[in-house]
Amino acid sequence: MDEPERRTVLKALVATLAGLSTGALETPEAAASTASESWTTQTLEAFADTLIPGERRFPGDMVVAGAVTGPGAVQAGVVGLLQSPRLPVAPLLPAIAALLDARAVAYAAVRLIWLSPARPPFVGLPFSDRTALVAGLFDPDDLDRPVWQVMSLLVGLAFDTAAPQDTAEALAQGHPGLTWLRFPEPGPDGLWRFPDFSYGRPLAVLHPDTTASGSPA
C-alpha cells in the first residue's frame, strides 16, 4: 500500500470507531446475518478468526478455520460490524483485504504453498500459516503495522466488550465474547455492585515503614 492510501485507510478505520460511538450501528449479530460472502468478507473474517478463533459455522466452512470449538471473533460479529454500509470504512475494506491477500500470496510463494484460485489467498492458508503471517504483520518495521493494530483493536473490542452495545443489554442477549469471559451479570436495576468483594482478613504483614495515611515512608 502506498503512503497516501495507507493514511486514507487508517483514517477510515478510526472513523469507524467514531461511527460506533454515535451508536449508529446495528447489533453485530444482525449485521453479521446480512454479510455477503464476498472475497473481502471472507478475508476479513479469516483475519478476525486468526486473532480470536471460533468453531466452523457449517460443515465445510473454509473461512473460519475451526481451530477450536465455541465462539470466536466471527461469532461476536466483528466483520459484519465493519461491513455495515452505515460506516465510512466499508468502501475501504476491499483495499485492506487485498493488502492481506497480497501478503498471503507472497507468504505462500516462498513456502511453495498451493493456493486455490477459488478462494481468497489468505483464506486458502492453513490456520498455522495464517497465524504465522499475522504475527509478522506486527513487526515494528512493517509499514502497514498501524492498519493491523487498529484492525486488531476492533476485533478485540467486538469480542471482549460488545463495543456497539450497552454491556448489560449485550449480556442479556448472550453476547458470545462476554459470555466466554464469564463477565458478571448486573443486578436487577442493571447496575453492578459487589457486596461480597473481600476475603476480609489480614493476608500479609504490613511494611514496617508505612505512614499514618498508609503510604511508603
Partner 1 sequence: MTAQTTDVLVIGSGFGGAIPAYYLAAGGARVTVLERGPRASAADFTQSMRLGTYNKIVDVVQGDGVAVVAGNCVGGGSVVYFAASLRAPSFVFERHGGLGRRLWPAALTRAALDPWYDRVEEALPVTRTDWPDVSYAGGVLAAACHRAGHTCNPVPVAVDTSTCTNCNWMLSGCRFDAKRSLLLNYLPAAEAHGADIRPLHEVQTVVPSPLSGFRYAVGYTVLDPDDYGCTAQAGVIHAKVVVLAAGAVGTPVILRRSAPFLGGVPAAVGRYFSGNGDRVSVADVDERKARSLLGLSRPDGTAYEGLPVGRPITAATYDHLDPAAPEYSRFTLQQIYFPPLTNLLAQSGGSPAWFGVGKRDMRARWRSWLTLLAMTEDDNEGTFGAVPPTGGFIRLAPGLGQGTMTYHPTSRTRRAWDRADTALRDIMEKDGLSRVLPWSEDVADTVTAHPLGSARIGDDPATSALTDGNELRGHSGLFVTDGAAVPTSLTVNPSLTIAALAERAVAGIAGRAADAGVALRRDVPLPGR
Taking CB under 8 A as the binding criterion, the range among 31-39, 47-55, 97-105, 118-126 that sits at the site for partner 1 is 47-55
Residues 139-168 within binding reach of partner 1 (CB under 8 A)? 149, 152-153, 155-157, 160-168
Least Å from the CB of residue 178 to partner 1: 8
Closer Cβ to partner 1, 36 or 213, answer by number = 213
> By CB under 8 A, is residue 64 in contact with partner 1?
no
Give the residue, chosen from 41, 42, 43, 50, that forms a contact with partner 1 under the rule CB under 8 A.
50
Among 62, 67, 90, 113, binds partner 1 (CB under 8 A): 67
Q: Does 198 bind partner 1 (CB under 8 A)?
A: yes
Binding residues among 115-134 for partner 1 as defined by CB under 8 A: 131, 134
* Least distance (Å) between residue 118 CB and partner 1: 26
Q: Which is nearer to partner 1, 114 or 197 (CB)?
A: 197
Q: How near is the Cβ of 151 to partner 1 at its closest, in Å?
A: 10
Q: Is 68 in the site for partner 1 (CB under 8 A)?
A: yes
Ranges within 177-196 binding partner 1 (CB under 8 A)? 178, 180-184, 186, 190-196
Question: Under the criterion CB under 8 A, does residue 213 sit at the interface with partner 1?
Answer: yes
Q: Applying CB under 8 A, does 206 fall inside the site for partner 1?
A: yes
CA distances from residue 190 to 172, 183, 186, 193, 195 in whole angstroms, order as listed: 10, 14, 5, 10, 15
3-state SS string over the chain?
CCHHHHHHHHHHHHHHHHHHHCCCCCCHHHHHHHCCCCHHHHHHHHHHHHHCCCCCCCCCCCCCCCCCCCCCCCCCCHHHHHCCCCCCCHHHHHHHHHHHHHHHHHHHHHHCCCCCCCCCHHHHCCHHHHHHHHHHHCCCCCCCHHHHHHHHHHHHHHHHHCCCCCHHHHHHCCCHHHHHHCCCCCCCCCCCCCCCCCCCCCCCCCCCCECCCCCEC
